[in-house]
Chains A and B, each alone.
Chain A
Amino acid sequence: DAGVIQSPRHEVTEMGQEVTLRCKPISGHDYLFWYRQTMMRGLELLIYFNNNVPIDDSGMPEDRFSAKMPNASFSTLKIQPSEPRDSAVYFCASRGAWTSGDNEQFFGPGTRLTVL
């Protein structure tokens, strides 16, 4: 199993540009989570999906952020237009269905976004 795959690993863009981050969860996992990590705010949950349906997007900071999950093996997080304060490491994580109370998450390597 390749684990959670994220692309790109690094992204440098200029303010105002559109940024699209991609995630492929572990095959068979029902849940997918998008997080943002910064020194100031730590690890924040942005949105999560269950069976490709967005369940909780209360962590999405602004309308500039949007996330989709068109199928069980792919999700995108888009920022349009990007701003310097969006600079952070964005993580995708996935997990299987709720069984026996084990809900550990498996994280991807992250995308380091720098907005100039």
Chain B
Amino acid sequence: SQQGEEDPQALSIQEGENATMNCSYKTSINNLQWYRQNSGRGLVHLILIRSNEREKHSGRLRVTLDTSKKSSSLLITASRAADTASYFCATDGTSGSRLTFGEGTQLTVNP
């Protein structure tokens, strides 16, 4: 199976609520990244967390990383309709050259 698998596959919430997405991976990493993809667009980098970090914040985003469980979570607080998109985690393995993307979580934020 793929390195980097998101859970849930789809999430629907109301504006103002928090959204949490999870990612599991299988091999050692240098870092883990989260990307967003709006419908019909390319992926956009959101945040990167290194393997020696446990938590990182950027605006309304909070990412955690548990290397012992090989898992990460992305929390979007106070969601907005504009947050509606697919969210992907990506891991780089130990070579760092390439990224392997998960299957993504489709987030829908209802106004």
Contacts and interface: CB of A to CB of B under 8 A. Distances in A.
Interface residues of A, number: 23
Contact of A105 (B99, B102, B104): B99
Nearest to A110: B42
Nearest to B43: A107
A98 B96 contact: yes
A109 to B, nearest CB: 5
- Interface bracket on B: 20 to 34
Contact of B45 (A43, A105, A108): A105
Contact of A107 (B31, B44, B104): B44
Interface in B36-59: 41-45, 48, 50
B77 to A, nearest CB: 22
A101 interface: yes
A interface, over-half SS: strand
B43 A45 contact: no
Interface of B: 2, 30-31, 33, 41-45, 48, 50, 88, 92, 96-104
Given A103-B99, A110-B41, 17 more contacts: A4-B42, A31-B97, A42-B2, A42-B103, A45-B100, A55-B97, A56-B98, A91-B43, A93-B42, A98-B96, A98-B97, A101-B50, A102-B31, A103-B31, A103-B97, A107-B42, A110-B42
21 contacts: A42-B2, A42-B101, A42-B104, A45-B99, A50-B97, A56-B97, A56-B98, A98-B97, A101-B31, A101-B96, A102-B31, A103-B31, A103-B99, A104-B48, A105-B45, A106-B45, A107-B44, A108-B42, A109-B41, A109-B42, A110-B42
